[in-house]
Structure 1
């Protein structure tokens, strides 16, 4: 298929990991002479750079509450046709109205990208706090804590819900892209082995639609080899269910008591910001800095010796490979399959059994004192990051387009 116009859909844009992927791929496609559009429900205009504005155009849905609202569907039907969009890449929005768009949009190919672990929604709901639900009134929060959350934790209701959603989605898309081979195999086994009586023959109809493409990195900004400071870094969205930054603060409580010359810097923002500030005060943390959101994180990667994730689940962990480009050593819980694509334990990063805070702190402290280990991990990190260079990943997307 010859592709002239490519569109993406991200619910918020441009802040977030999946949004960074969209931006990186937009630069690649634009450099190849393609027109790029980005549809979104929440456009953060002040976060767009001059280069962004020169690279892609944006289109904002009229109703920000739900992509499937009638106004949004009609807007997309009209826009996709008028803009002559050849491919629409939807970034991890399972409820996107693919079936209704197909009623009138004949010349656009639809690609769904899973940017997390298969059925990540189950973990998300089970770990969600009551203030994170929609319209969190006092009565709704009580209902969530004492009725809905126990049902979610101790029954298969969520699994049945999302299996039905994914199986319906499969029939209306042209490709299903996961982040690594393990995720692709896992989601297929989950869907095709489920008792879906209303979808007979689903494996035969849709198995060929699955593929995997890792997230791409922009070329690093020179210099990438810099003197390192005694800094441990976190970069990402401040959210609870997945990121669990509260664990990192509790780990840091153990670390700073023994290494008062090291600092923890957290770069990012999100709904958990105030809770994390309160937790830092309650723990009495002294060697910590909340740096806020920064579009350009390279200056932090250059200075930091380590970057830490303490997530319950991740799709890929873009910050880890971004940090590797600058010799910043990744440390993470061994809590999701794709982390093994990013690093090898003891060679290009440090993996800790989930979710052992004591062993995590011990691993950091041991690495602080082992300069030979740091040099080996740093050297191998530079090499590991090269696998995700934009040119190589972009070519995989062009190959996918050619087969549509």
Structure 2
């Protein structure tokens, strides 16, 4: 098909990793002469740079109370028709009227899953009662005593989300995961459900790596003895508290090394209290940084201790600048990023003891650092925006 106008849809924009991917793809498409629209329910106006405003024709949804209500659905469908959008990227969110867009517009629909498949199941099975919406005493007791045990002992959650994703699959032209391993996991779980629609055509499912902007020179710089975390502060997902516990185990043995934590969020106060309680001596909370590049340049390692991830941008960005990824092996994306351990350290999930042991060993092994750092530079070439952008253009031709 011939494509002239490309649209993106986000719950909020800009925000996290999925939005960074859209920014990068938007740059590529605009450079190659495409018109780029962006629809969002919650625009973060203070984060919209002049560059982004030039790349994207941004269209906020009119109803700020009901994201998938009739008013927003009508606005989106009419706008897509009026603007003659050829392709619509739906980035991660499933709270959208897929069926209406499918029947009322001519746009080809591409849904991108920016996380590990069925991440919602893990999240709900491990969420604390205090973390549920409106955590009144009654709701917390009901969750802890009834819902959570049922989630863990049955396949109720797996079936619920299989049904949701089958609905998505039946209304999109392509369902895109972050790597082939995720596509295999996703297909396996959908087929296993046995639900109507689980026999979807395999060609509707594909994988695409996240594209990265070219590195800001110099990419190769002398490294400091810094272990870095960069990302959101969100306990149910990121579990930065684990990293602080790990640092407690190895800090005394490595007096020249520092832990630097870049980011912000609702958990910051609790993490700072935890650091004081653990009496950590060499830890720095650097706050939110628009540009994390200077930290990647200096860091030797970039660490995650998350419950789950998709294809974490911080590890990929770190690799571009020779920062070695360290993460639990709880998701297929880490095997893709580290090339099965050639350019990063994978730790058995969720062993804090093993994590501390492997990181402690790596801090002392300069030869390992040198070898992995060179492998990181090579691995990062896979994320080249121009190459991945061309893959997207090739996919358009198959729609």
Q: TM-score, normalised by structure 2?
A: 0.95
Task: Please show how residues 284-303 of structure 1 align to structure 2 within 5 Å.
Answer: 284-303=279-298
Backbone CA RMSD of aligned residues: 1.7
1:397 to 2:368 alignment? no
Q: Following the alignment from structure 2 to structure 1, what is the Cα–Cα distance between the partners of residues 206 and 311?
A: 16
Q: Residues 136 and 298 of structure 1: is their aligned pair in 2 closer, same or farther, counting only changes over 3 Å?
A: same
8 Å CA contact 1:95, 1:165 repeated in 2: no
Q: Residues 175 and 141 of structure 1: is their aligned pair in 2 closer, same or farther, counting only changes over 3 Å?
A: same
What is the aligned counterpart of 1:317 among 307, 312, 315? 312
Show the counterpart of 1:79: 79
Aligned length: 399
What is the aligned counterpart of 1:216 among 211, 215, 221? 211
Task: Please show how residues 108-257 of structure 1 align to structure 2 within 5 Å.
Answer: 108-196=107-195, 198-199=196-197, 202-203=198-199, 205-257=200-252
Deviation at 1:357?
A: 0.9
Deviation at 1:275?
A: 2.6
Q: Could you tell me which runs of 5 or more consecutive residues in structure 2 were left unpaired when the two chains were aligned.
A: none
Q: Which moved more, 1:372-381 or 1:345-354?
A: 345-354
Q: Which moved more, 1:178-187 or 1:236-245?
A: 236-245
8 Å CA contact 2:102, 2:172 repeated in 1: no
Show the counterpart of 1:17: 17
8 Å CA contact 1:233, 1:304 repeated in 2: yes
Q: Following the alignment from structure 2 to structure 1, what is the Cα–Cα distance between the partners of residues 269 and 84?
A: 44
Show the counterpart of 2:373: 378
Matched residue SS, 1:79: helix
Deviation at 1:123?
A: 0.6
Deviation at 1:64?
A: 4.2
1:55 to 2:55 alignment? yes
Q: Which moved more, 1:273-282 or 1:79-88?
A: 273-282
Q: Residues 83 and 61 of structure 1: is their aligned pair in 2 closer, same or farther, counting only changes over 3 Å?
A: same
Q: Following the alignment from structure 1 to structure 2, what is the Cα–Cα distance between the partners of residues 64 and 123?
A: 29
8 Å CA contact 1:323, 1:329 repeated in 2: yes
Deviation at 1:241?
A: 2.5
Q: Following the alignment from structure 2 to structure 1, what is the Cα–Cα distance between the partners of residues 30 and 167?
A: 32
Deviation at 1:66?
A: 4.6
Deviation at 1:228?
A: 1.1
8 Å CA contact 1:171, 1:206 repeated in 2: no
Q: Which moved more, 1:56-65 or 1:113-122?
A: 56-65
Q: Could you tell me which runs of 5 or more consecutive residues in structure 1 were left unpaired when the two chains were aligned.
A: none
Deviation at 1:353?
A: 1.1
Q: Following the alignment from structure 1 to structure 2, what is the Cα–Cα distance between the partners of residues 71 and 292?
A: 38
Q: Residues 28 and 82 of structure 1: is their aligned pair in 2 closer, same or farther, counting only changes over 3 Å?
A: same
Q: TM-score, normalised by structure 1?
A: 0.94
Q: Following the alignment from structure 1 to structure 2, what is the Cα–Cα distance between the partners of residues 315 and 23?
A: 18
8 Å CA contact 2:335, 2:341 repeated in 1: no
8 Å CA contact 2:12, 2:42 repeated in 1: yes
